Amino acid sequence: MEASLAQVGSKLPAVARKALEALLAGESGVVAPGGPPAPVFVTLRTRDGSLRGCVGSTRPVMPTVLEETARSATLAATRDPRFPELSLAELPSIAIEVSVLLPPEPVLGLEELAPERYGVIVREVTGYRQGLLLPGIDGISDAATQVAIARQKAGLGPEEPVVLSRFEVLKFEETPGATSDDRGV
């Protein structure tokens, strides 16, 4: 029987950390499959809470949420274009957050958004560009700002027609300085 998200959710930050430890040690970092398929974003933060990387997907790429978490953690450490690759020296001071995206639902306007509760996906009507913002981001307190930033991330101007979707997340966090051994993984 496949483990549920509720059963594996608390393990996700440790899975992400173990994947980063393996990556930075030059090891393969094989993750045992577990949990259902689910889209995941992994956010890396410095000790002072500053963003250090955040990568994920709106649809699962890997067969299970544990594998998806390891993949997104590796990408957050190496492929976030806003930051240089994470170094081994930085890892002990990095806190890891894993956001599992719940299914998105279409919305008709800003009044159906609430940035503390819902993330937003902005997609261009006639193409493939899209931008996503997770819920609960410091400094984003209104839907207009949330959508404007998501548009900017997608490379979409303020007047281009878009389709809006909102989603909730299940967020799992750890504290800075944790190791995979501390988390039983």
CA–CA separation, 134 vs 117, rounded Å?
9
Question: Residue 59 CB: number of other CB atoms within 10 A?
Answer: 10
Per-residue model confidence (pLDDT) at position 45: 96
Percent of the chain with pLDDT over 70: 93
Ordered by start, the domain boundaries in the chain are 5-101, 105-167
* Coil vs helix vs strand at 35: coil
| pLDDT tens track, the chain, 185 positions | 468 898 899 999 999 999 999 999 999 878 889 999 999 999 999 999 999 999 999 999 999 999 999 999 999 999 999 999 999 999 999 999 999 999 999 999 999 999 999 999 999 999 899 999 999 999 999 999 999 999 999 999 999 999 999 999 999 999 545 555 544 44
CA–CA separation, 58 vs 5, rounded Å?
17
Q: Across all residues in the chain, what is the average pLDDT?
A: 92
Neighbouring-strand partners of residue 123: 130, 163
Token duo for residue 74: 């590796």
For domain 5-101, give its CATH number from 3.30.700.20, 1.10.150.120, 3.40.50.12160, 3.40.50.620: 3.30.700.20
Question: Residue 102 CB: number of other CB atoms within 10 A?
Answer: 16
CA–CA separation, 150 vs 145, rounded Å?
9
Per-residue model confidence (pLDDT) at position 6: 85
Per-residue model confidence (pLDDT) at position 3: 80
CA–CA separation, 162 vs 130, rounded Å?
9
CA–CA separation, 128 vs 114, rounded Å?
25
Per-residue model confidence (pLDDT) at position 181: 52
Q: Please tell me whether the overall predicted TM-score, pTM, comes out greater than 0.85 for this model.
A: yes
Q: Measured between alpha carbons, how far is residue 166 from residues 9, 102, 143, 147 in Å?
A: 21, 10, 11, 11
CATH number of 105-167: 3.30.1490.150
Per-residue model confidence (pLDDT) at position 32: 87
* Coil vs helix vs strand at 132: strand
Per-residue model confidence (pLDDT) at position 142: 98
